[in-house]
Structure 1
Amino acid sequence: MAHVVTCFVRNCGAVLLTLRSEETGTYSGRWAGISGYIEGDPDDAEADAWRELREETGLGEDDLELVRAGETVEVEDEEGSFVVHPFLFESDTRTVTTNEELAEIAWTDPTAIRNRPTVPRLWETWRRVAPTVETVRTDRTHGSAWISARALEALRDAAIEADDWAAVAKIGRELRDARPSMAAVCNRVNHVLSTSERTPESVATVAIRELDAAFESDEKAARTLVRRLRDAEVSGVATLSRSGTVSAALRKLDPTSLLAAESRPEREGVTVAETVAEETDAAVTVTTEAALPAALSRCETAVDAVVVGADAVHPDGSVVNKTGTSVLASAAQSAGVPVYVVAASDKVRPAGTASRDAADEMCAESPHEAVYDGDADVDVFAPTFERVSADLVDGLATEKGLLDAAAVRRVAVEHAEHAAWTD
């Protein structure tokens, strides 16, 4: 059997589908991902995936992040016998430069695969790399905005394949409970299921719509923050975050300087620092969470504002974020520096769930070996998240604007209404 790669390139929930031209040796006139023969060792198929992407789209390592490789799919028909190696990449652009092998391209929801004439088993190939309940539950690399989008994708795909409402509801409950510390996951899944017509087809349709809305909400939240910071003539920013929304806001703001702390032991926050250093003219300094109070006063460039993301916002205005945020917020308050949280309003917890969720938040911990990998019999306490008091936060920037305490409570009540779909 010949070995081939099939690469799915995703941008804001849409994937790149390509129509194979007559220049291809097989399956001309059919839709596919970015595909091609593996020229070397099939165990090193990733190298061929990158080569095909460069040749057929012009995209390279500066544009793409490899999300995952999936289990192979075997195809055997009149065109030949193939072992397909699936890959999923995340792209920061939809601008591609195609070659003669592609007659047409389309950025579309992946469920469109099921309604187009495609190469054999393309939907199954997609499912080998598509988000699932397990990937939502175990992702320790991305922030909650990213992970909640993956939850909506997993719900959409499950609904497309489901036979009845009960099957969809089961997946919905699993996704809702997969990341209890991340309110956006729960709220976005609840919103889809509560506003659908309780059929698999309706759930899939609403999930697609809400996925688009989620990306728009994060973008609008970033713009809200940037307007506030520009009005205040902020030039120096400090952060402790791995939030994609924080990164987007900082790229738009283009501050003079950024003080970025990493959260030990998994060093969350370094990616934000690297992104801002690469994509803006800001002078970027990385520090540790323990050194933040000293860094605020001793760095050569003054800090005018602190900006962090949130995994959740409680109805009382307190914020759940990476461990170390309280230290940063307290030091900022002592220095007279305002603290702003940027997050979509879907990160506000439903009213009436605070006591349960407060316990859930403290259950999330970094792996034991990330803190101590020696042989001594020692325990490790390394909570991933902590709750930051509302009196340390000067504003919550969302797609609805800069919210005060009363507005946060109204959003919490609305989310509680959506959560009632299980009743």
Structure 2
Amino acid sequence: MDHVVTCFVRNRGEVLFTRRSDRAGTYSGRWAGVSGYVEEDNDEAEFDARRELREETGLGGASIRLLRIGETLTVEDEEGSFVVHPFLFESTTREVRPNEELAAVEWVDPTAMRDRETVPRLWETWRRVAPRVDDVRDDRTHGSTWISARALEVLRDAAVEADDWESVAGVGRDLRDARPSMAAVANRVNRVLATAERRPEAVSAAAVRALSDAYAANEGSSSTVVERLRDAGATGVATLSRSGTVAECLREFDPDSVLVAESRPEREGVGVAETVAEETAAAVTLTTEAALPAALADGDVAPDAVVVGADAVLPDGSVVNKTGTTGLALAAREAGVPVYVVAARDKIRSTGDERVATEASPAESVYDGEESIGVFAPTFERVPDRLVDGLATEDGLLDGDGARRVAAEHAEHAAWDRRNDE
């Protein structure tokens, strides 16, 4: 029995769909991911997956990142017997150079594969690497922009497979409650379930649209802060932790210098610094939260502005973000440096919802010794609105009244479950 790889490459919520040419050995004319034979060790199929991506599409190196290896499945039909190894990659680009084995390539929503003539069991192969509710609940690496997009994918896929509204609503409730600190997750799920007709196919279609809107909103909020920085003549920016929207802002703004706090205790700021150094021409300096006041006063690395993301914006204008943000904002205020929070409107919480979730980093990430020592390591904290100079959204810079209007809109969408019980 032959072993083969099937690679799904995702960008902005869509996957690369390929139609196999007459030069392909099997399933000519059918749609698939990026596929090929495992030529060496079946337990080391990742090597073959990356080789096929390079050979068939030109994708490789820093432009793609492996996210998941799925459980294998067996396909047997008149074309042969195959053990399929599923892979999911994230790509930073849509530029593809197809070789002679591919007759066509498209970037499409994964649900499109259910309506086309594909290689056998392609949808099942996708589901073995697709996002799940547990991914939304347990992810401690990515920011709320990324995680809320994954939540919409989970809702979309659940709806396309569902036979009734209530099963879709059950998944929606699980997603809505999965990350209480991240307003965008609940707001985006709530909007889909509040505005779509109560039919699974309507929810799936609405989730696809919401996913596209979410990426557009993140780009819009990034552009808002970039315009503000350019108007102010800023050349240096400070940030901390991991935020996909801030990363987009830095790529678009391309500052002369970037100061990044490493973000204790998980130190995801180190990866941010490496990414900025790789993707921009900025001089990048990595520091610790404890050294931020000194760094903001040092003439060699001091920034003109602080730009941070947000896991949530509360109705009173305060911001929930990774622990360390308050220290950075206080140091910036002391140094006379403005602080901008870049956040799509969906990160504003519903009216009256002013909780700060108590998610905590693992105690051993701070202390793993043998003494009886307590550890206080909250993942998120509340930053007072008085320390924030501007909330940059896709609708421009919002003041307190604007944030409260958005919060009221989110509260209306959140009522979908209560209406369901009436």
Q: TM-score, normalised by structure 1?
A: 0.97
The one-letter amino acid paired with 1:228 is: R
Q: Does 1:366 align with 2:367?
A: no
Q: Deviations over 1:288-309 (max 9, x none)?
A: 1121111111251331111100
Structure 2 counterpart of 1:421: 416
**Aligned partner of 2:384 among 385, 389, 412:** 389
**Aligned partner of 1:412 among 388, 402, 407:** 407
Look up the SS of the partner of 1:320 in the other structure: strand
Contact kept, 8 Å, 1:290 with 1:324, in 2: the verdict is no
Matches within 5 A, 1:9-20: 9-20=9-20
Structure 2 counterpart of 1:170: 170
d(CA) in 2 for partners of 1:353, 1:252: 33
Structure 2 counterpart of 1:338: 338
Return the offset for 1:375. 3.4
Q: Deviations over 1:364-422 (max 9, x none)?
A: 11122222233334332211111000000000000010001110010000000000000
The one-letter amino acid paired with 1:371 is: V
Q: Deviations over 1:28-72 (max 9, x none)?
A: 111100001111111111111100000000011221011111111
Matches within 5 A, 1:36-55: 36-55=36-55
d(CA) in 2 for partners of 1:36, 1:278: 31
The one-letter amino acid paired with 2:52 is: E
Return the offset for 1:255. 0.9
d(CA) in 1 for partners of 2:145, 2:303: 26
Matches within 5 A, 1:66-215: 66-215=66-215
Structure 1 counterpart of 2:323: 323
Matches within 5 A, 1:157-306: 157-306=157-306
Look up the SS of the partner of 1:290 in the other structure: helix
Consecutive unaligned residues of structure 2, counting only runs of 5 or more, are none
Q: Deviations over 1:94-148 (max 9, x none)?
A: 1100111101111100000100001111000000000110111111111100000
Return the offset for 1:276. 1.7
Contact kept, 8 Å, 2:73 with 2:84, in 1: the verdict is yes
Return the offset for 1:242. 0.5
Q: How many residues align?
A: 418
Q: Does 1:379 align with 2:379?
A: no
Structure 2 counterpart of 1:402: 397
Contact kept, 8 Å, 1:315 with 1:349, in 2: the verdict is yes
d(CA) in 2 for partners of 1:282, 1:109: 35
d(CA) in 2 for partners of 1:314, 1:59: 41
Q: Deviations over 1:236-294 (max 9, x none)?
A: 11111310100111111111111100111110222222222112211100011121111
In the TM superposition, structure 1's runs of 4+ consecutive aligned residues that sit over 6 Å from their partners are: none
Q: Percent identity?
A: 70
Q: Deviations over 1:170-202 (max 9, x none)?
A: 000000011111000000000000000011010
The one-letter amino acid paired with 2:339 is: V
Q: TM-score, normalised by structure 2?
A: 0.97
d(CA) in 2 for partners of 1:245, 1:299: 27
CA RMSD of aligned residues (A): 1.0
d(CA) in 1 for partners of 2:187, 2:318: 17
d(CA) in 2 for partners of 1:350, 1:174: 18
